[in-house]
Amino acid sequence: MERIVEVKHLTKKFGSSIAVDDISFSVEKGTIVGLLGPNGAGKSTTINMITGLLKKTSGEINLFGKAVTEKNRELRKKIGVVPQDLAIYYDLSAEENVRYFGGLYGLRGAKLKDAVEQALKLVGLWERKKDKPATFSGGMQRRLNIAMAIVHQPEFVIMDEPTVGIDPQSRNYIMETIEKMRQAGKTLIYTSHYMEEVERLADTIIIIDHGKVIAQGTATELVNLITDQKNIMITVANPQDIVLEELQQQNGVIQAQLAEQLLTVTVANESSVLNQLLMHLIQQGVEVDRVHQQEIDLETVFLNLTGRNLRDR
């Protein structure tokens, strides 16, 4: 599959501070790569180097098979960038904002008119095209920002925290817009510190913290990376009938602990273990009231890999 982006050993230093520390990854055509990490992890710095807005200290960046340089302006026409900070002209209408940016990319006449209409319709703002952004909600302004970034129909789109500080309805609208872009064959890098967004959108997830790539893969691959075990919490009515020594001898059981009526059993992460465990308890005359299996999610992955929660500052 064609690689749209290749980043090799990318590093950025500000004086003695290392903002991005020897990171490498690639983005294949038609896929969404999620850069997941807390604020200050190095996501925006990485994005700014990929787009050529920030000069790298060392490493390589290739877009569409060509090195990113300040002189290679043709590459920028293939890219759409949705910045973290809004870039909107509040004294212009929504339509005028999008038309202005389309003109910057060389669109003219009927082609520009059609492109503006398509972009505004994609983000659900065509009916508000004559209104000024000052009358829009924060979420609508974010959607306008997306329309301005994609009006020239770029092959590759970068979105840097596009849902920060907006309401859930607008966030979901943006998610649906991105999914439509994926269906149209666009390639995206999506940065966020919202776990659920990256999990919903990204084909590949790159966890970045303190400027380093900690891990990368699909959501399933990342979950499997950190554990081959899971905990099962069982509430029982008659804990006195449980014999922990016998329980721990069952296949797949790694450890068993009992605290009053709560039995916590660490087992191998296999689907058959739970049934075997429950059968053993029933045969011993133990009355089971409730069973809960600990779910390993990306939040747990991040905590295990970095030692802190995703939204910690």
Residues 190 and 264 in one domain: no
Structural domain harbouring 42: 3-224
Tokens of 47: 């994005």
Q: Domain of 49: which CATH number?
A: 3.40.50.300
Residues 266 and 160 in one domain: no
Summarize pLDDT for 106-149 with one digit per residue, the tens.
999 999 999 999 999 999 999 999 999 999 999 999 999 999 99
Residues 107 and 216 in one domain: yes
Residue 308 lies in a domain: no
Which class for 302: exposed (0-12), middle (13-18), buried (19 or more C-beta within 10 A)?
buried
Residues 235 and 86 in one domain: no
pLDDT at 310: 58
Residues 217 and 169 in one domain: yes
Question: Which residues are registered as beta bridge partners of 35?
Answer: 191, 206
Residue that is last in its domain, among 224, 248, 279: 224
Residue 124 lies in a domain: yes
CA distances from 313 to 37, 38, 265, 309 (A): 11, 7, 33, 9
Residue 306 lies in a domain: no
Residues 210 and 67 in one domain: yes
Quickly list H helices, the chain: 43-50, 94-104, 109-122, 138-150, 168-183, 195-201, 219-226, 244-247, 271-283, 298-306
pLDDT < 70 regions, the chain:
70-73, 226-227, 270-271, 307-313
Q: What is the DSSP string of 20-60?
A: EEEEEEEEETT-EEEEE--TTSSHHHHHHHHTTSS--SEEE
Residue 66 lies in a domain: yes
Residues 218 and 245 in one domain: no
Residue 300 lies in a domain: no
Residue 191 lies in a domain: yes
pLDDT at 28: 96
Q: Domain of 284: which CATH number?
A: 3.30.70.980
Q: What domain count does the chain have?
A: 2
Residues 275 and 216 in one domain: no
Residues 241 and 121 in one domain: no
Q: Are strands 156-160 and 79-82 parallel, antiparallel or unpaired?
A: parallel
Residues 204 and 232 in one domain: no
pLDDT at 313: 42
Residues 234 and 102 in one domain: no
Residues 290 and 141 in one domain: no
Residue 302 lies in a domain: no
pTM: 0.79
pLDDT at 309: 61
CA distances from 269 to 206, 235, 249, 302 (A): 24, 20, 17, 19
Residue 147 lies in a domain: yes
Residue that is last in its domain, among 186, 208, 224: 224
